[in-house]
Amino acid sequence: MEIGQLFNVSGKVAVVTGGSRGIGEMISAGFLANGVKVYITARKEEPLVKKAEELSNKYNGVCIPIACDLSSSLGIDYFVKIIHEREKAIDFLINNAGAAWGEPYDKFSEVGWDKVMDLNVKSLFFLTQKLTEILKVRASGDDPSRVINIGSIDGLNVPAFETYSYSTSKAAVHHLTRVMAAKLVKENILVNAIAPGPYPSQMLGSAVDHDYSETARKNPRKRVGMPEDIAGLVIFLCSQAGSYVVGETIASDGGIVKTAGHNLG
C-alpha cells in the first residue's frame, strides 16, 4: 500500500508512438522522470533525435528515437524489427501517434478519410499485433504488461469541428480497446484507452491558432490539460495501482464529457 511501490514503474521499458511532441511528449517525460526506458517514434528524424536527447538530459533517463512512418505496413515492420533487435521484452506500449483532418461535410475528401483511419485505427491495431509477443515476455498475473490507446473525447462527444474521419476513428479506437482487452487479458496484457480533451498540442493548436484562452474559459476546470494530468493517468494505468483496470476508456478532459456536453457556454 506504500505509495512509492503502488505507483512504481521504474526499470520498465516503454514504447510511445508520436512521442516527440504534444501528449506523446508529456507521457514520455512522465515515464522518464520515473525511471522508465522510453522508445519514441515520429516521421521526421532530426526533431525526433533532438527531442530524445533533450528528454534524456532533462530527466537523466534513457530516451531512444526511432524515426519511421507507422501509417504504412513497411514502417510498422521496420519499427518492430528495430525493437526486437534492441529489446528482449517491452512492458508498456502507448499508441499515441495520430492524425486529424478537417473539411466541410460536402467537400470532405477520401484522402482525408483514409489518412486518418489508416494511422489512427489500422496502424494502431497492426503495431499492437506485431508487438504482442514481446509484450508477453515479462507479463505475469502479478505484473501484467500494458497497452494504452490514446483516443479522444471527440470519439465520445459530437466534435466542435468538422473532423468527420477523426472523431469516427477515435470512437473506433475506444471500441477496439475493449475488443483487444478481451483478447489480451488472457495473456496478462491489459489494454485501456485514454480520451484526452483539450491539451496544448500541434493538433489542437492549429485549430485555435495556438491561443488556448477561449478553450480554457469554456472548460469546466477553466484550464487546458497539463503534462502532469496525462502523465499521472498513464503512470496509474501502468502501475500496480491500475492492474485491475481492463478495457476502460478514461476521459481526461476537465469534465467536458460528463458535466458540460457539446454546447459549452
Separation in Å, CA 42 to CA 38, 82, 157, 250 = 13, 14, 28, 25
Strand ranges of the sheet holding 13-16, from the earlier edge strand across to the other edge: 63-67, 37-42, 13-16, 92-95, 145-150, 189-196, 249-252
Q: Residue 187 corresponds to which cell in the numbers above?
A: 495473456
Question: Which residue would you say has higher pLDDT here, 264 or 85?
Answer: 85
Across the range 171-187, mean pLDDT stands at 98
Question: Which residue would you say has higher pLDDT here, 201 or 59?
Answer: 59
The stretches of the chain forming alpha helices (DSSP H) are 3-6, 22-33, 45-59, 73-86, 110-117, 124-136, 164-184, 202-208, 213-218, 227-238
For residue 23, pLDDT beyond 60:
yes
Where residue 100 falls among pLDDT bands split at 50, 70, 90?
very high
Residue spans per domain, the chain: 3-260
Where residue 264 falls among pLDDT bands split at 50, 70, 90?
very low
Task: Dump pLDDT digits (tens) for 208-225.
Answer: 777 888 889 999 999 999
Predicted pLDDT at 160: 85
Question: Which residue would you say has higher pLDDT here, 193 or 211?
Answer: 193
Could you give the CA distance from residue 105 to residue 117 in angstroms, rounded to a whole number? 17
Predicted pLDDT at 212: 84
Predicted pLDDT at 265: 42
Across the range 111-122, mean pLDDT stands at 97
Question: Which residue would you say has higher pLDDT here, 264 or 76?
Answer: 76
Chain-wide mean pLDDT for the chain?
94
User: Among candidates 26, 21, 23, which has minimal Cα distance to 50?
Assistant: 21
Active-site entry in 39, 59, 164, 166 = 166
For residue 1, pLDDT beyond 70:
yes
For residue 15, pLDDT beyond 50:
yes
Predicted pLDDT at 206: 64
For residue 155, pLDDT beyond 90:
yes
Predicted pLDDT at 176: 98
Active site residue 166: yes
How many C-beta atoms surround the C-beta of residue 64 within 10 A? 18
Which residues lie below 8 Å from residue 92, measured CB to CB, with a gap of 6+? 9, 12, 13, 14, 15, 31, 36, 145, 146, 147, 148, 238
Across the range 232-251, mean pLDDT stands at 98
Predicted pLDDT at 205: 63
The residue behind cell 494504452 is 148
Q: For domain 3-260, give the CATH number.
A: 3.40.50.720
Across the range 128-141, mean pLDDT stands at 98
Task: Dump pLDDT digits (tens) for 41-95.
Answer: 999 999 999 999 999 999 999 999 999 999 999 999 999 999 999 999 999 999 9
Measured in degrees and rounded to the nearest 5, phi and psi for residue 195 equal -110, 95
For residue 169, pLDDT beyond 80:
yes
